[in-house]
Amino acid sequence: MESAAFQKFVNEENHTWAWFGWGADYPDPENFLDSVFMTGAGNNHTLYSNPQFDTLMTNALKELNNTTRLQLIDQAHKMVVEDMPMVFMFNRERFNLVKPALRPTLKPTGQDGQIMGDRFFRQVSMPNNILRVNSSGDPPTLDTNAASWASSLSCLYQIYDGLFSFDQNLNVQAMVASEIPTTANGGISADGKTYTFKLKSNVTWSDGKPVTAQDFEYSIKRMLAPATAAEYSFLYLAIAGAEAYNAGTGQESAVGVKALNATTLEIKLAQPQPTFISRMALWPCYPVRKDIVDAKGADAFLPPNLIGNGPFMLTEWVPLDHMTFKVNPNYWGTKPTLTEIRFRNIPDPQASLAAYQNNELDMSGVPVGTEKATMADATLGAQVFRNADLVTFGFQFNVKKAPFDNKKVRQAISCAIDRDTFINNVRGGVGRATTSWIPPGMPGFDANIGADYKFNVAKAKQLLAEGGYKV
């Protein structure tokens, strides 16, 4: 079912249950809970509503003490797992083939679960300094303010550097920013509503011009502009004046983003947002050149007009065939070992595998359903690269419709499902069974949450009986 039709179907409360998965936009557990289970949230397809849960999350979303904030989130997580508006099934796992020459420098990360992310390509090496991967499709856009698809992000990660990024352990690290703002260094005001970002003075665009705070001010305001229709603008509506401007009822001049000088950016929030720095590490806030957008319009984000400040430049794009990225000679940071990255556009998984076996690709996925055979293959089995992903899947119930308006029934279904058998027989052994929502690798993960609702037929029958159903 197409997403808009599905949303209409859910809004009309016609559904009984639905398959659902959720991945982290940024590595913090709050975005696994607030958007999915708070009353009236846009992705709350369960129609679940618990005032105690809402209060815990409302307090967590504004709590500046991180220890206290995570405690509130932990309480909320335990509550929603106990209420069971959703049967949590498995955490997604990436399953790829990687050439032996690439494997030693390819490090997995939880952020996005994207093999093709900046946490990888600027770090890896190949004997000929050229990396060939399958992008599986052309990116819908390379406008960093408006992008949302993984195929777009895989490109943007190579072309741009933001104020911050995430390291292999999902900790924020300074990139264009000279330091991470804190209350101790004066970068965050005592009330948590004013952020001052100091920029490095040696960062340049690929054409050699300096990257300035004005480039970030322009980018953020452009991302919030109604005309941009940025899908991820909702992450930044805590900025003063942003919500009204984004909705078309306010003025750009009222948005609390201002370049104080070439190397100082000030952002004022309408209310404290403890995860604001993590959000500022994401692609919607990468810098954008106003002069190029003014001169080229939509073509500003196509080669040869596309100018970035990251380690690579997009030098060639042949639609439906390939994209070529070459090293940025003016890159301010540590130079990548690679001199070139080639994204092939091979949508068919079988064709991608054939290209890998013909030594035309250095990485590839495998066709769904062939994972076990791949693992058993004498050659390919040794080239399998698996890494965890910050994504959880499961069944969402309509908790307003019988029999799923009965918590005991929902809990019973969780106990009646053999997740390990499901993963082994349906998913080819790919994935990790779970009985909770926040995935491993995410702050706040607790392996004990939901343990009472693992596969247990006797308990499933008991819970059904407690819910008024005879078995």
Check pLDDT > 90 for residue 310.
Answer: yes
How high is the pLDDT of residue 4?
65
Q: Is residue 112's pLDDT more than 50?
A: no
Cα separation of 341 and 133, whole Å?
A: 8
- pTM of the prediction? 0.92
Please tell me whether the peptide bond between 304 and the residue prior to it is cis, using omega within 30 degrees of 0: yes
Residue 115 has pLDDT above 70, yes or no: no
- Per-residue pLDDT band for 111 (boundaries 50, 70, 90) equals very low
9 or 39, which is more confident? 39
Distance CA 416, CA 110 (A): 30
The DSSP element (H or E) to which 68 belongs, if any, is helix 66-83
Burial (CB count within 10 angstroms: exposed 0-12, middle 13-18, buried 19+), residue 459: middle
User: Which of 369-403 are b and which e, b meaning 16 or more Cβ less than 10 Å from the residue's Cβ?
Assistant: ebbeebbeeeebeebebebbbbbbbbbbbbbeeeb
CA–CA gap between residue 202 and residue 198 (Å, rounded): 12
pLDDT at 118: 47
Residue 6: pLDDT band with limits 50, 70, 90: low
Q: Is the pLDDT of residue 408 over 70?
A: yes
Interatomic CA distance for residues 314 and 159, integer angstroms: 7
Instruction: State the pLDDT at residue 443.
Output: 86
User: What value does the mean pLDDT take over residues 363-376?
Assistant: 95
- Region 128-133 average pLDDT: 96
Residue 240 has pLDDT above 70, yes or no: yes
φ, ψ of residue 292 to 5 degrees: the values are -75, -40
State residue 459's pLDDT score. 98
State the chain's mean pLDDT as an integer. 93
Q: Which of 41-45, 226-230, 400-404 has the lowest mean pLDDT?
A: 41-45
